[in-house]
Structure 1
C-alpha cells in the first residue's frame, strides 16, 4: 500500500496541496446539498447522506484506483436504496451496503474490474435514463408541496399517488422551488465559479424563512434537527436469515456501484490523460461501503459530476477528495443546526437538475436514430428500469444485447463455394462457380468468420447440403476463421466423419496457429490427418488433382482448373 501511495503522490508539493485545497473545498460545497438531497430521495434522513459524503468520500480517495475520483451518495442509487428502505427498512439497508462493500472488495481482489467494460452502451444509457426519470418524477411532490403522500416502490404507484394528491398543492412551495431552480440555472452563467445548487438552496431558504415561515415543509419540520456530530460506531445486527434475504439487493448495489465508479474513473481519465486502476478502484469502493454503514451512512460510489468539478478546479491528487470529505465534516460540526430551515421545495430542483444532467438524452436520441437492435435494447432497458426494477432491466438488457451480438456474429459467417479465377492469376473466387463450371470431384469452400454456437449449424448445413453429389475431395479454406468454440468444433468433427464415411478426403488450408493448437488438443488434427493440412490453397489443389479419378475426368467439360482440359482428353492406359 505504501508503494501505491508513493506512486499516486509522486512529485507532490506545497503548490499541489494548494490546488487540492481549492478543488476539494469547492467540491465539498457542491457535495453538501447533493448529499442531503440524495439521502432524502432514498427514503432516509438527510444527515445520513452527509455521513456518507464524509466517510466514503475520504476512504474512496485514499484507497481507490483513480487520483481524481470523488465518492459519495449519487443519484444512480436513489431508486435502489428507496426500494430497499421501503421493503426491508433502514437497518437492513445498512447491512445490504456492508455486504455490497464486501462484494466489491472481492471483485477487485479477483480482478474483475475489466469485466465492467463488457456491459453494452445501450444498456448503461437505458438504465441511466430510466433512473433519471425516477429521480425527476420522485421530486414532483416536493416541488408542488403536496401533502399526505405515501411512497411506493413502483413508478406507476407513485404517479397515481401524486395524481390523487394534486389538490394539496402549496403555492408557496411552488414559488420557492421555481426560485431555487432559476438560481441554479442562472448562477453558472453569471458566477461560473459559484456552485449553483448551493446558491439556490441558500437564497430560497432565506426567502422562505423571511416571507413564508411555517408555510412550506422544511427538513426540520419533516425530519427533525440534524445533529452536528458523527454517529457512534455501531455494528448492524447480523443473522443468516437477514444475510440471505439481502443477497439480491446487496448484489445490485455492488454492481451498480462498480459500474458508476468505473464510468466516473474513465471520465476522469479522459479529462486528465491519466489511467486509473479498475481493480484497485473496486477495492477502494468496497472498503468505503464496508465502513460507511457502521456510522449510519448509505451506499456510495464514484460521482461523475463531482469528479469532473474536482478536475476542473485543478485537483492534482487524491488529497483533494480527502479535503472534500473533511470540509463536509467541518460544515456538519459548525452549521448543521441551520439545515433545518432548508425547504424540501428547495431540494427538489437540485435533484431535478441532477436527473436532467444524468439522463444521457443526447446519447439516448443518437442510439434511437440508429433504428437498430441497439435501439431496441435501449428502449426495453429504459422502460423496464422505470416500470419494474433496475435488476430486471439490466438482466433483460444484457440478455437481449447478448442475443443481438450472437445474431450479428452468426451473420458474419460466410461459407462460399469457390474455384480458381483464371482471369485473375488463379485467385479463388465464389463468382467463378456456376452450373457449367463446377468440378464434380473437388469441392472448395471458403469459410470466413467465427465458428461458434450461433453459426456452427449453418456452417454444417451449408457444407453437407452441397455434398449431395459426393465429391471425392473437400477443401476447406479456413484462413479467415479466428476461433472455434466447442459447438463449432463438434460440427466440424461431424463434417469430417460424414465426409470420410463416404470415402472422401478432406484437405484444410490456411489454419491460423491458435486455431491449429485447438484442433490438436481436440484430436481433430488426427482425424483429418496432419498430412491433409496445407498453408496455401494452391498446394491443396495440386494435392487434390493428384488424387482425383482420372477416368471420371475424361469428357468432362466443366474445366474448373487449368489442368482440366488436359485431364478431360487424356485416357488412362
Structure 2
C-alpha cells in the first residue's frame, strides 16, 4: 500500500458512495468540457477517467477527485483550435501530445520537489486569471445557449452576440435557461441523491425529446463506445515552441488548481496532503489521458467536496468515480447522444459563474490600488489577449512590486550611527567622537535583496562628507549574488574617491558569498574586521597618519595599518576626544 497514499479499506461504504456521487456530478461536466474544448464529448470523459484514476491512486491527497476543469479546458480549447488551424491533419495528435507533455512537466515538478512553491502565485494574479477564465467560459457558451455553434475565439463570440440575440432559437434558449434555473434552485435535500448538474442534464434532455421534438436542436451526436485507441505523440518543428509553451502552461495551471483543491480537502478532513506526490499523480494522469485522447485535468474542487461530504476518505473513492465513468463509456454512450448542446451550455455557464472570484470582487474597492490594478489587468489580458501572457505579466509585475516593497523596508534598516547611539560601548563612542565628521558608521539589519542593495548604494554614494566608512553587517542574515556585486560597486567607488571602507561582523554565509564572487579581494585584510571597535581603531589610526604626513590612506601598507591599530583602543581609553 506504500504506492497508494492514504489507501485502506476501513471506509469501504463511504468511499463507494462518495465515488458514485462524484461520478454523477462529473458526468455532465465531463461531457460539457469535452464539447467546449472542440475535441468532442468523449475526450472529456476520457480525461475524467484517466486523470481521475491515476491521480487518485498515485497522488498525494487521499480524497481528491480529479478530472477536466474549466481553466484547463479553456487552455486546451485554445491549443486545439490553434493546432487544428495550423495543420488540420496532424493538429489533433499534436494537441493530445501537448497534454502528454504537460503530464511530463508535472511529474518533473514533483521530482524536483516544487510542490510547496507552486501555490505561491500572488493572489491578485490567481483572482484575475480565474475571473477571466470564468468570463471566457460564459462568453463562449452564450452562442450555444442561443442556438448557435460554439466558437473558440472570445472576441468573435463577443462581436457575434448582437446578431445572435436578434435571431436566437427560442427552444435552445428555453432549455438553457431551464438548466440554469435547476442549477441555481435545486433543493439541497434532493441534491444528496441527485446532484443539480445531473438533474439539469436529465430533465433538459427529456424536455428536448418530449417538448421540442419538432425543433432542430443541436445535440452532442454520436459518441464512440468501447475502449479508447492510442494517440501516439506527434511533433512538428514548426509548432514545437507553441506546443512546449502550452504544455508548460497546462502543467503549471493544473498544479496550482490541484494543490489548492488539496488544501480544501485537508481543511475538510483535517489531513495533510503530500504536494510533490500529488504533482506526480496528476502528471501520470495527464500523460495517460493524452495518450488515449483525453482532456487534461486537475484536482476538481466541487467534485472533491461532493466526494468528501458523501463519505469519501481514501483514493478508492476517486478510483470508483473513474471506473463508473468508464462503464458509461463502454455501454451508455448512445444514451448521451441526444443531450442538447443548449443544456450543456447552461451547465457550463453556471461553472463559469462559480469560477469568477466573487468573494474578491465584492470587496475590490477596499483593496490597495495596485492589487486592484493587477487583478483587473490580468483579467483583461486573460479574456482579450492570451492566457500565458496574462499569467506571465501578472507574476512579473507582482514580483516587481514585492521587490520594491521589500527593498523599501530593508532600506529603512540602513541608518547612520551617531556617537550617542545606545548600541555603542564607551570605547567606540569615544573613537567616533574623536574622528568627528571624518568617519561614519552605517548599520544594516536583516536580509539584503538586490533592490535594497541598489538603494544602499545610492545612499552611500550621496555620502561624500566622510573620509572613512564602516559598514556594520552584524545584523545582515543573507545576501545573494546580485547584492554581492552591488557591494563590489560600492567598494570600488569609495576606493576611487580616495576614501576608506571597512566591513564589520559578516556572518559565515554572507562572507562565503562575498569570497566566492571575489568581492573581498578589493579590500586589504585590515579592512575586514570582526567587530566595530577593531574597525574604528584601524580607521582612526589611518586617518591620524593621513593628517600627520599627508599621505594617501589607501596606499598605507597592510602591516603598518594592522600594527598601528593594535594599540588604538588602549590609547583612546586614556585620552579624551579632541
TM-score (norm. length: structure 1): 0.85
CA deviation after TM superposition for structure 1 residue 127, in Å: 0.8
Write the deviation string for residues 400-457 of structure 1: whole angstroms up to 9, x where unpaired: 11221222222221332220337x58689xxx9xxx9992122121224544432333
- Pick closer, same or farther for the CA change 1:535–1:216 going to 2, 3 Å: farther
* 8 Å Cα contact 2:138-2:353 kept in structure 1: yes
2:13 aligns to what?
A: 18
Q: Judge conservation of contact 2:132–2:379 (CA < 8 Å) in 1.
A: yes
Counterpart in 2 of 1:3?
A: 2
**Closer, same or farther in 2 for the Cα pair 1:425/1:388, shift >3 Å?**
closer
8 Å contact from structure 1 (residues 123, 398) kept in 2: yes
RMSD: 3.1
* Deviation for aligned residue 1:247: 2.4
User: Is the CA contact 1:420–1:427 (under 8 Å) kept in the aligned structure 2?
Assistant: no
Partner SS, residue 445 of structure 1: strand
Whether the aligned pair in 2 keeps the contact of 1:550 and 1:567 (CA below 8 Å) is no
Select between 520-529 and 303-312 the one with higher mean Cα deviation. 520-529
Match of 1:191 in 2: 190
Q: Distance in 1 between matches of 2:369 and 2:434?
A: 40
Residue 70 of structure 2: which of 69, 75, 85 is its match? 75
Residue in 1 aligned with 2:206?
A: 206
Moved more, 197-206 or 504-513: 504-513
- How far does residue 75 in structure 1 lie from its aligned partner after superposition? 0.6
Counterpart of 1:233?
Answer: 230
- Deviations, residues 457-515 of structure 1 (Å, cap 9, x unaligned): 33123113212x343x3222223333223332233233334445566543333433321
Contact 1:125 1:364 (C-alpha < 8 Å) held by counterparts: no
**The one of 284, 288, 303 aligned to 1:287:** 284
Check if 1:566 corresponds to 2:548. Answer: no
d(CA) in 2 for partners of 1:357, 1:411:
38
Aligned to 2:350: 353
* Alignment match of 1:61 (pick from 56, 64, 75): 56
Tell me, yes or no, if structure 1 residue 246 matches structure 2 residue 243: yes
1:261 maps to 2:258 = yes
- Secondary structure (helix, strand or coil) at the match of 2:501 reads strand
Partner of 2:321: 324
| TM-superposed deviation, 1:34 | 0.4
Residue in structure 1 matched with residue 94 of structure 2 by the alignment:
92
User: 2:477 is matched with which residue?
Assistant: 482
DSSP 3-state at the match of 1:341: coil
Give per-residue Cα distances to partners, 1:239-274, cap 9 Å, x unaligned.
555645522322222222222222222322232232
Cα distance between partner residues in 1 of 2:234 and 2:526: 69
Moved more, 438-447 or 311-320: 438-447
Decide whether aligned partners of structure 1 residues 46 and 536 sit closer, same or farther in structure 2, where only a CA change above 3 A counts.
Answer: same
Deviation for aligned residue 1:380:
1.0
- Aligned mates of 2:232, 2:528 — CA distance in 1: 66
Q: Secondary structure at the residue paired with 2:228?
A: coil
Corresponding residue number in structure 2 for 1:298:
295
Cα drift, residue 32 of structure 1: 0.2
Query: Which segment is superposed worse, 333-342 or 355-364?
Result: 333-342
Q: 1:314 to 1:528 in 2, by over 3 A?
A: farther
How far apart in 2 are the matches of 1:287 and 1:391?
Answer: 23
2:563 maps to none
Q: CA deviation at 1:550?
A: 10
CA drift of 1:142 comes to 2.2
> Whole-Å Cα distance in 2 between the matches of residues 495 and 505 of structure 1?
11
Distance 1:136 1:564, change over 3 A: farther
Match of 2:122 among 117, 120, 128: 120
Choose 16-25 or 355-364, whichever is displaced more: 355-364
Equivalent in 455, 460, 471 of residue 458 of structure 1: 455
Partner of 1:215: 215
